[in-house]
Every structure is written in C-alpha cells, then in structure tokens.
Structure 1
Amino acid sequence: MANQFHVAHSGTISRLGLIAGPPYFCAQDSAITATTACMTSPNLIDMEVLYQEYESATLTGTVDSVDNLRAARVWLFSGRRDTVIDQGVMDKQFEWYAHYVDNVSQVAYFNDIEAEHAWISDAASNPCDFLGLPYLNNCNFDAAGRMLAHLWQMPLNPSVSTASLDHLHSFSQALYTLVEPADISMADVGYYYAPAECQSGSLQCRLVVFFHGCHQSSVNIGKVLMLHTGLAALAESNNLVILFPQAVASPVAPYNPKGCWDWWSYTGEDYASKSGPQILTTVNIMRELSGYETTVGKAIDGSMPEQVAFEQFDSPTVF
C-alpha cells in the first residue's frame, strides 16, 4: 500500500520507506498474481509491463506525473529469511524505483539482515527470525531511525526511551470515507501519535504516514505496533506526527481475510490510483491533520488537533 500511495501522490509525497512489498501494480487486479508472482515467484514479474502500466496511468492523470519520481528518496528493507515476500520480489521493487530516480543513490536498500517477515525494531521482543504476530522483530537494527535519516538527509535527535500512550489518539475513520469503512475493509477507528507540542500546534511538525501490514491492524494486535516500531519514540524527540490508518479483515465482500491494505483490487479497479477508496480516505485524514478541507467535507472529529502546523505536505509512507 505504501508504494501505491507514494506513486499516486508523488507530486506531494516525495519520500517512501518500505519493508517487504512488491512493485507498483504488481498484482494487476488479480489475487492469483498477488499471491504468486508478487510474493513467492518474482521470476514471473514482467517489469516492462509494470513500467508501461504506470506510465499509462500518469498520462490519464489517475496517478501523478512520472517526473516527480526523479527526485524521490526511497528506503527499502528485505529480510534474508523472509518466507512471506521472497527477497527477489523486493529486488524487483528496487529495480522499479531505480528505473525512475535521477540517481540510484536516492534508493537505499538493506537486504543483508537475517530477518523474517516483520517490521524491524529495537523495541521488539520477538527474535529476528520469528514469523508470527505482531510481526515486530528485534534484529539489533533500528529500521525507523535509519529510514528517516536517509529520507530526510539529516541527523535525527536520539529517541526517547519509550513512547507515551497518552500521545496516541484515536479518531473515527468514518468521517473521511465516502462509504462505510467496512465497505472498503477499513476499521471504524484510526490513530495518530502526536507529541504534546505538535498536538497543541505550538511547534511546526512533520507528518509521517504508517500503513500496517497484513494481520497488523489494531483489531488484531492492539496498540503494540503503533508504540513499538521506533517511530513514536523518534516522534517525541524530532517533532513528528505519525498517522496510523487502519484496515481490517473482511470475511465477505470485499473479501480481505487477513486485513491487508488493497493491493490487488478487492475495493475496485481504481485501488492503486488517486481515486482508490483507501487512498482517498487516507488523503482526507492527512488533509484534516494539515488544516485543509477534506474531499468528503464531514465535520471535524473532536479528537483531532484543532491546528497542527506541518513543515510540508509531503511525508514518508512506510510498510
């Protein structure tokens, strides 16, 4: 989902961090392709087809111009022991971005850590090669810190020791959807993490959007992912607001049994475009946080900050 969001809105979002995911439009509207070529059989991925599909979408305006990717900064991670997304799939992801950026040095790719399929954090309790909930593993590798340092090309202030539960706020995602959240396999409740100074609007803060992986919705694992990726602890010392939109499993139409974000078309054929319902909903939430009117135009939820001054309306989108 993160790379779809980045590609669709590359005119305003210039930084992407991604752990274990296929290149843009890899599934090509097919659940079968998604679970074969895009996960376990990278030899079946035809990069020329993906380039053509993307470039055609830019010409119709369903995603932003290809020119925007020239200056993009991208951070990629693939664990050597990942048994869910074959490392060859992430090699294709690297190849896709390297094809469009001005200089390949803009794309950092870490693929030498003995990690299973998970977000990698020094705050995690599971070992590096563990496969299972909450998909949060400790490999003595600070993914969040390394990612943000590369994307922003600047040193970060050291993390605080722990994130504050008091700074994790919930809100109704239904305020920002064109339909009921369940109709697009999104949860009723989303979250954002904001240090006190960002919440009050007294400081100018950067916005980071974090898309969880399959099985990682708060409905499945509670708040552990939001508090222990390393991002929230960095938020306190670096004036960041972290948005955590939430997908949810759906056993019926739209069929999404693992609570994944839509990257194979269960919400409709426009899922990977600016008009994709999950992408549009996330943009509406971002605009509200940034003080803009939303596309939906519903009332402001009381839990949102009245005003947050963001340095710029571009942000890394991760996992």
Structure 2
Amino acid sequence: MAFPFAHCAFFGMALLAWPLKADSDNGTLVPPPADDENKSWELLSIPSPSRISVGGMSSGADFAVQFQVAFSETVMGAAIFAGQPYRCAIQRFPNDTLVPLNPEVPVCEGCPAGKTLEYDHCKNNASVVEVRLLKTVAQNYSSQGLIDNVANLERARVYLYRGTKDTIYGQGSVAKTRDFFAEFLPASQVLFKNDIPSGHAYPLPGSQLWPCGGEWPLLLLPFQNCEYDGPGAALQHIYGGVLMPPAEKASMRNLKWFDQKPFYGDREVTGLARWGLVYVPTSCESASGRVCDLFVSFHGCGFTVPGTFELLVTELNFNAWAETNHIIVLYPKLASHGSTKQQQDGCWNVYGQTGDTYATRDAPQMLAVRQMVQQVSNLKIWGLVDGEGLYSMTVRHARCHAYLMLILLIVRIMS
C-alpha cells in the first residue's frame, strides 16, 4: 500500500509520546553507525536455529505470505496481520476491472496488451478474488521448481488477523488469504481472528497510549491497545500452544543491530537499509550453546521515517515472548529506494514492480531474506552499551523529525 502523508505525521505523534525505555537494568539501544563510518563489529556466533517462522503486518504480511509459500520446506508457520493472498496483486480474475498500464501494477497475469489491474484490487475489492486460480499459480510454480513443493504447506500453521475497523484491507480481503491457505492446510492449523475493533494495526494488551480503533487519525497508528495480545496469540498458534508466558520486559541489551550489506544484491532492487535489528534471548546467546527457534518479522510501509522502525520493534511484544521461549527475532529493514511510490515508502515487493517472478524463491528480496535466515548464526552485529546518553539522543533525534512532520501536516491542512 502507499503510505499516506497523514500516516507519517501521526507516526510522529507516536514518537512524541514514546517513553525513554532505557534504565540501568534493561540496557540501551545505541543508534546504528552511518554507512560510511568504520565501526567495530562482531559475529553473532550462535548455533543455527531449529524451527523458522515468519510474520508481518500490511506489506510485511503480504511478504510473509510469499515467504511462507515459497519456502514451505523450511518455514513452519506465519503470522499474518492484514495480508493478501499469495501473488494476488498481479492476478487477473474474471470480474476484475481493467485500467491503462501504470507503474504501480506494471505486470498483469491474464490482461490484454496495454491494460492492467486496478491497484490493490485484492484489498479493495475482495469479492473478485478467486483463490482456486491462486492455488493453481502456486501449484504451477511448485511444479516448475520456482518455489518449494506446495505439499510442504500441509504441515504449516498460519495465524491471520484483521481488525474490524481496518480501512486499508477491506472487508473480506484477509478472509481470502485464509481461504487460500485452507486449500493446502488442515482447518485446525489455520486461525483467523477478526472480531477485535482495531484499525489497520497490531492489537496489543495492557495500558499503552494507543487506543483501539479510535477515530481518524488515531485509527492509523500501527499498534493499538485492544486488550488482546495479537503477537502472543500468533506465536502460540504457530508453536502449537506450548509457549511459556512472556517476560515482563524484554531486555534492550539483547537487541542488536546487524549489518545488511552482505545481502544487498542490487540495492536499488532489494532496497535494504544498511542496518536491521535482531533480538537474541539471554538463553540463546553464544555462551549458552542452546539451539533456538527463529521468527522473522517484516515491517509494513512507511518505516523509512527516522525512528519509526525502532519504535515498532520496541513497542511490539514479540521480544518479550521470545525471551522466555528461546526464539530469536529477526527484523529486516528496507530503505527508501527505486522509482515507484511503494518502493520509496519502503514497502516490500508484493506488486511485481520488479518483474513477474517477485514471489518466487530467487526474486531479489526473497533471496536476500533467505540468505539472512541461512546466515543468522553468524550475522555481523554492532552495538549495545550501558548508560542513557546515546539512546536518548536517538529518541530525541526521532522526535525532532516527529515535530517537523506535525508542522508539515498543519501547513498542509491549512493550505
């Protein structure tokens, strides 16, 4: 999806309210070095993970669907917070409306010359989506060796979520994703939660400042206090309901920047930022020698705004669940790149804007993340220190951008 200006501005509101989480017991998150800085780093040096699962919201959820389907031999489950079905964005269905070619949907499977699909047809008009056609696409890719054998999906576990006030993924859109997976998985392995009155967001428990399904623009916040633990419910489902309760607080000392440069490929196509984040539970650190699981979390669009990626990673409670259940959490990050609005907003490639093979194993972004997963035990990491100074500067820097966004929003409204 495109990331609207107002959404950026109210990300700014979230940043202004973001508390400084550093304390003497919890450690501090140091800002990553600039691309041109020569900083010391070390290898993560942990045993290779055992079970691998993925998840995300919005564009990240779309990408998690792709990754689960394409790498079903090694990925055992997916947490889909508002995501469309596999390769749906470029597939023409019999009742689709056709429009002139445009860069947002440059590829259309089944369209006549000079025509393409309406942007976001799977999210805005779910009634046209026929999941049997998408099942056939996946089966054909599988038989051609472009993705793993779809028979592997039978053992996957998939959690799906859509808030009842979600205005980005329309009514029925995520249900179509459920129906797609139901073509391959037993019903007991697919859980669809769609009765929480949130907007387009991760639903969280507790007393966070972000209201559940508030009026616009609060409805746009990407995490909302709905007294429902969406991340926890997703992980519990993926791992069969056997997880220990989450830690009261995840340790900032265990959150580390990792270097994404080894995975760039063609950076204008992959769009990778220089640094991503990885959370390594205390029980999974190199000295323990424990073999842990891995969960890969994909952000949505718009996290190119300074400070928002850190805000998302620290506000979600995936890390708290990971701490007590021996799960490493990998957070890849995209930068603004390319020529389309989606690329420049840091969306994952779920629209075929780099070609029709974007949902296959060897597509640039898919390959880059697969390599991260394969090499996670030896990622090049940088940085945690004690003390509040550097962390505080990071947050204050982000808040300066937040104030600027709010000022720009006010100017735009008044103009």
Shorter-chain TM-score bucket reads 0.7 to 0.9
What residue ranges of structure 2 are gaps of 5+ in the alignment?
A: 1-62, 92-103, 106-115, 384-415
Query: 1:85 & 1:46 partners in 2: Cα distance?
Result: 17
Aligned counterpart for 2:283 among listed residues 185, 197, 214: 197
Query: 1:285 & 1:133 partners in 2: Cα distance?
Result: 31
Distance change (3 Å), C-alpha of 1:36 and 1:222: closer
| Alignment correspondent of 1:316 | none
Larger radius of gyration: 2
1:91 aligns with 2:163: no
Whether the 8 Å contact between 2:159 and 2:192 is mirrored in structure 1 is: yes
Query: 1:35 & 1:220 partners in 2: Cα distance?
Result: 29
Aligned counterpart for 1:20 among listed residues 50, 64, 82: 82
Whether the 8 Å contact between 1:134 and 1:216 is mirrored in structure 2 is: no
Query: 1:201 & 1:267 partners in 2: Cα distance?
Result: 42
1:120 aligns with 2:203: yes
| Alignment correspondent of 1:188 | 274
Aligned counterpart for 2:362 among listed residues 267, 275, 289: 275
Query: 2:184 & 2:304 partners in 1: Cα distance?
Result: 32
Query: 1:87 & 1:58 partners in 2: Cα distance?
Result: 30
1:242 aligns with 2:325: no
Distance change (3 Å), C-alpha of 1:249 and 1:76: same
What residue ranges of structure 1 are gaps of 5+ in the alignment?
A: 292-299, 305-319
Shift of residue 154, structure 1, vs aligned partner: 3.2
RMSD, aligned CA: 2.2
Q: Which runs of 4+ in 1 moved over 3 A?
A: 32-36, 130-134, 216-220
Kindly report which structure 2 residues correspond to 1:202-241, keeping only aligned pairs within 5 A, or say none: 202=288, 203-217=290-304, 219=306, 221-241=308-328
The residue identity in structure 1 corresponding to 2:282 is A
Query: 1:220 & 1:57 partners in 2: Cα distance?
Result: 38
Distance change (3 Å), C-alpha of 1:114 and 1:55: same
Query: 1:302 & 1:111 partners in 2: Cα distance?
Result: 38
Aligned counterpart for 1:141 among listed residues 217, 223, 228: 228
Query: 2:360 & 2:323 partners in 1: Cα distance?
Result: 33
Aligned-pair identity in percent equals 30
**Deviates most, 40-49 or 15-24:** 40-49
| Alignment correspondent of 2:251 | 164
Q: 1:16-58 CA distances to partner (integer Å, 9 max, x unpaired)?
A: 1101010000012763747332221101212232122111111
Q: How many residues align?
A: 294
Kindly report which structure 2 residues correspond to 1:56-95, keeping only aligned pairs within 5 A, or say none: 56-95=140-179
Q: 1:252-298 CA distances to partner (integer Å, 9 max, x unpaired)?
A: 2686232211101123322111001111111111111146xxxxxxx
The residue identity in structure 1 corresponding to 2:355 is G
Query: 2:344 & 2:271 partners in 1: Cα distance?
Result: 10
Aligned counterpart for 2:139 among listed residues 46, 55, 64: 55
Whether the 8 Å contact between 1:135 and 1:216 is mirrored in structure 2 is: no
Query: 1:86 & 1:21 partners in 2: Cα distance?
Result: 11
> TM-score, normalised on structure 1?
0.85
The residue identity in structure 2 corresponding to 1:242 is V
> TM-score, normalised on structure 2?
0.66
